Chain A
Amino acid sequence: MEFILWLLFILPLASSALIHFALKQKFASLASKIGTISTFATLVIAILWLSDVFTTPESWTWISVGAFEATIGLVGDQLAKGMMIVVCGIGFLVHVFSLAYMDEDESKARYFGNLSLFMFSMTGIVLAENFIMMFIFWELVGLSSYLLIGHWYQKDTAADAAKKAFLSNRIGDFGFLIGILMTWILAGSVIFSEMDGNAFIGHGAYIAGAAVLLVFCGAIGKSAQLPLHVWLPDAMEGPTPVSALIHAATMVAAGVYMMARFFGSIGLEALAQVPAVEFIAYVGAITSLVAALMATQQNDIKKILAYSTLSQLGYMVMAVGLLEPNAGMFHLYTHAWFKALLFLGSGAVIYACHHEQNIWKMGGLLKKMPITGFTFIIGTLALTAVPFTSGFYSKEGILHAAHANDKPYFFWIAVIVAALTTFYMLRLIFIAFLGEAKDDHSKHAKEVELRMFGPLVLLAIMAFASPFVSSFIPANGFTPDTAFHANFVTAVSIGAFVIGFILAFLLYKGKKEDPINIPLFQNKFYFDEFYAGIVKWFQDLLAAVIHFLDEFVINGLLVGGLTRLAQGTGNLFRKYGQSGNLQHYALISGVGILLAIYFTVFSK
């Protein structure tokens, strides 16, 4: 039965290759079905795997030369198995949703081919047994994300967003790769199960801390943490189901997953002696706060959800940095279902409103689209951590982890973010789903078809049920606490919800335009402008200066000098030989050979 697990790779890869090279747009509807069926098959395998019916196959040696050994092999712990359920489960629902959402698209086949490529790549990250393999699939996920964000590549904004996503990730991967190299030497191996935590910290906390933070750079890029978060909101240029799958539930969570796997391999006891790890928690906390503030002033329904994703990823990263990776993974797991629900719900809304994404032009959608509306509200309840939803339990875990830390600001930032989350999500609900329709599109919006609302209903069920299906949870040695405790943390958490709710109710109930106006948040703290400035005034200017120096100084002096020297000789030849330039080229090389012969023969 070893072969079965390789099917997790083979099926999506074969599907992608078949669609791209054989079916193409001519057989687009067949292509879409093949992609969906292959994802369903991987989901079945992933579910069966939970009960250990398959043995993990032996690794395959990709390269083995001298001390360099890179293998392709699978890990089969609960962390990986649970993550496969998330990837394949949400992947399948997104495929079904896409059947309807992308039905009319003129490049439907390319879309489904790239979706399969993504499933293949993501599987590789999840199942990677070593850092090199993870890096390989890490980059391939970057490629599929690039292709899917740029699906409508004729729009400049989409093409630019795709490029920006790839480059931001590359910057993170720069650090990631150095971190992998350092880990290779420090921990003695790139294979997760063979890393030696004591050796890793054996050369001192500074160098171990540097290695950890460099590896974390990879997560900063992939999981869109500050300061590399700028690509994720732009990535909303891609088709909405892609946003749900890649840019909310799975790929962006890969950074958190990678850190959890890495920390698990090194060992939390060893890492507790590396103070630099706390820096990770700061990055997460700041990201969660800044992103939540930005979300409060966005008007595009997908952008609100994108900033919300950033903010929730910040939570997860903070938990990892506080050395509670299981709390982070649990939140990753619950978040994946309800955020996919919210994104697909926004996709249904956008579809019904003829590609209108501005919430101020919507309104009253709950009545027009009751299934979409109610499932969207369920997703909102989970995201805002209303008791007895999945988000409540996982956020409790993070709040407890933050509260246990001796520095109080992690906890209070997390609480403020919780209140802000409630505020911006209810703002969205009040404006888009309640009140009155504000333009013709939303006035005539209709409920979407089964292939679209079916996934919404299933995801809505998971928004409640996910913590109770404990065999799905991607965390090693972890049982979720699904009891309701009346304690300080829970009280503050509920208090944060109430405050957020009341503020949103007072400010946005029945409003037709935004009563508050904070340019700093609307303009996303001017990060984009700042980076554009860096690119223009640093990278491009530096490149221009270097180009100038290269052309005129190096080329001018060195080559110029040589050329003049040679031309002088050439002129001599021309004078006496009356030959054209061309013969000179041959002559010069000929002279080389002649000189060689001369010296060889006569120098003796």
Chain B
Amino acid sequence: MLTLALILIPLLAVTAILFSGSANARKIALVAAVLNIAASIGAIISECSGFSLNVLSNPNINLSLDLHYNGGISVVMLILSVIVTLAAVLSGSCPVGNEKLWYSSALLISAGAIGAFISTDLFFFFAFHELALIPTFLMIGILGRGDRKEIAWKITVYLAFGSIILLAGILMIANQLESFDMTKLKALEHHQNEIALLLIIGFGTLVSLFPFHSWAAPAYASAPAPVSMLHAGVLKKFGLYGLLVVGYKVVPDGLAHWLSLLLVLLLCNIIWVGLVTINQKRLDLMLGNSSVMHMGYIFLAVAALIDNGSSFATEAAVLLMFAHGISIAMSFSLADRIQSKTGSLELNQLGGLAKNAPNLAFLFGLVGMASIGLPGLANFAGEIMVFFSGFEGWDPADGLGALQITTIFAIWGVVISAVYMLRAFKNIFQGETVSRTDKVKPLSRKEKTPAILLGLILLIVGIYPNTILQFFN
């Protein structure tokens, strides 16, 4: 039952928010987020059994949830989800009168993501993710910044496109296995190549794999802080999670067939989108693009797994998914504070912010350094494992293979990230103060709490990655 509680807690809280006044929305959401952390700890420690409820008998569809079936992968994704949920509830400033929508959306996205990560039924695995998308679209459409209608429309169309392709793939899998049960997944006998392509495009679109990436940056820039945090930090990982726990199990040969394509696309994520990121003039768009770029590294780990069955690529991918989720959530939380304090995220309108808001500069510097892979912070641990996985199966007698060459180019991304991140840090925080920044106050306790929470996790996992990697043993 503890497994079921992981989804029920946020869903019940959403119901409570809808039926109680706006004034209590934040409190209820906070309580739910904290309770869910407690429930997760309980579920992980107690190694509780799964939950199953027959929903439909022909075809046989069950609401089956099992945190431990996929081993460490689901556990780590759950931890990521509940932590980012708490930070998201604490972040941003809700426009008065919209509390119900604001906080129930955050919890719904969280419930959907958690549901997707612990489902062991393909139908619910898919449906939970779809559920989480609805509040994402609504929040951008109603409370987004800038061209919110157009952006909401774009992300809807895009993700719906990805979902439908993915759905086709899932149905083809279920058709061959004659079951939606994820515990019965095994390598398919027919149509591996076709299904693999559907999964790469379907899952890929949801993770903003090049060239299906251009929804991401504007959507994150427009979305209210909690939504960008939850989507970029947690929900987007669904696609990678799916490739690891579904794709690699059912169509390993199909994925290997498309490996060269995948290598080219992921390299485009890193280099192409990396260059796009360098050219951004606004912090939120820069962060959004950088998040797209960093997906390339995780795809690289997936590619290493496909290519040589690397003995640590799965762990590398999941560790980096976790690290990226925490760091991008922290970035968006802080970017939102910069926006509300200075009224701008245009890089050329800011400067010298470190003088008046040193704690904001420190926290942003910390997450900036994390995202460009500074050792001691979580992202580095993931990235170094990813790069090593690219060389694991290398036989020097054969010269450099496609995977090694891709890895080498991918490492250039480390330079690209440093270019845009240090440039942004310099423009916002260093130099003389400007009119927008000369009267800014440091972050208050309430404002800095979510960032400190996430920053501490980046540090702990960076120094001692076994906090996350232990779940794989």
Q: Hey, which bits of chain A sit against chain B, CB under 8 A? A: 62-63, 65-68, 70, 132, 135-137, 139-140, 143, 150, 153-156, 159-160, 163, 166-167, 170-171, 173-174, 177-178, 181-182, 184-186, 203, 207, 539-540, 542-544, 546-547, 550-551, 554-555, 558-559, 562-563, 566-567, 581-582, 584-586, 588-593, 595-596, 599-601, 603-604
Which of chain B's residues have a CB closer than 8 A to the CB of A203?
396-397
Q: Name the CB-closest residue of A to B273.
A: A550
B137 within 8 A of A: yes
Cβ contact within 8 Å between B311 and A68: yes
Report the Cα distance A562→B141, complex, angstroms.
Answer: 19
Write 27 A-B pairs (CB below 8 A) sorted by A numbering.
A62-B465, A65-B312, A65-B315, A66-B312, A68-B311, A68-B312, A153-B354, A153-B429, A163-B423, A173-B414, A177-B411, A184-B391, A185-B396, A539-B275, A544-B279, A546-B276, A559-B158, A566-B153, A581-B149, A582-B152, A584-B156, A586-B137, A586-B138, A592-B163, A593-B130, A600-B123, A603-B175
Most buried by A among B390, B418, B472: B418
- CB B415 to nearest CB in A, in angstroms, measures 5
Cβ contact within 8 Å between A563 and B154: yes
Cβ contact within 8 Å between A547 and B311: no
Which one of B61, B152, B276 contacts A600 once the chains associate, using CB atoms below 8 Å? B61
Cβ contact within 8 Å between A563 and B153: yes
Cβ contact within 8 Å between A65 and B415: no
Cβ contact within 8 Å between A554 and B214: yes
Cβ contact within 8 Å between A182 and B391: yes
B422 within 8 A of A: yes
Cβ contact within 8 Å between A139 and B374: yes
Cβ contact within 8 Å between B167 and A592: yes
Which one of A166, A171, A184, A547 contacts B275 once the chains associate, using CB atoms below 8 Å? A547
Cβ contact within 8 Å between B376 and A140: yes
Q: Is the interface of A mostly helix, strand, loop or mixed?
A: helix
1/0 per residue, CB under 8 A from A, across B115-156: the answer is 000000001001100110110011001100000010011101
Cβ contact within 8 Å between A601 and B56: yes
B249 within 8 A of A: no
Q: Name the CB-closest residue of B to A586.
A: B134
- CB B178 to nearest CB in A, in angstroms, measures 9
Q: Hey, which bits of chain B sit against chain A, CB under 8 A? A: 56, 58-59, 61, 123, 126-127, 130-131, 133-134, 137-138, 141-142, 149, 152-154, 156-161, 163-164, 167, 170-171, 174-175, 180, 211-212, 214-215, 272-273, 275-276, 278-280, 310-312, 315-316, 352, 354-355, 369, 373-376, 380-381, 384-385, 387-392, 394, 396-397, 407-408, 411-412, 414-415, 418-419, 422-423, 426, 429-432, 465-466, 469, 472
- CB A22 to nearest CB in B, in angstroms, measures 14
Q: Name the CB-closest residue of A to B384.
A: A132
- CB B298 to nearest CB in A, in angstroms, measures 16
Report the Cα distance A345→B32, complex, angstroms.
Answer: 62
Cβ contact within 8 Å between B160 and A566: yes
Report the Cα distance A582→B158, complex, angstroms.
Answer: 16
Q: Name the CB-closest residue of B to A171.
A: B415
Cβ contact within 8 Å between B157 and A562: yes
Give 19 A-B pairs besides A68-B389, A601-B56 with Cβ atoms closer than 8 angstroms: A139-B374, A154-B352, A159-B431, A170-B414, A177-B414, A181-B388, A185-B391, A547-B275, A554-B214, A555-B214, A559-B158, A563-B157, A566-B157, A585-B153, A585-B156, A586-B137, A588-B160, A595-B164, A600-B180
- CB A186 to nearest CB in B, in angstroms, measures 6
Cβ contact within 8 Å between A163 and B426: yes
Report the Cα distance A134→B167, complex, angstroms.
Answer: 47
Report the Cα distance A554→B265, complex, angstroms.
Answer: 13
Which one of B133, B408, B412, B431 contacts A156 once the chains associate, using CB atoms below 8 Å? B431
Cβ contact within 8 Å between B59 and A600: yes
Q: Name the CB-closest residue of B to A602.
A: B59
Which of chain A's residues have a CB closer than 8 A to the CB of B465?
62-63
- CB B440 to nearest CB in A, in angstroms, measures 15
Cβ contact within 8 Å between A154 and B167: no
Cβ contact within 8 Å between B391 and A181: yes
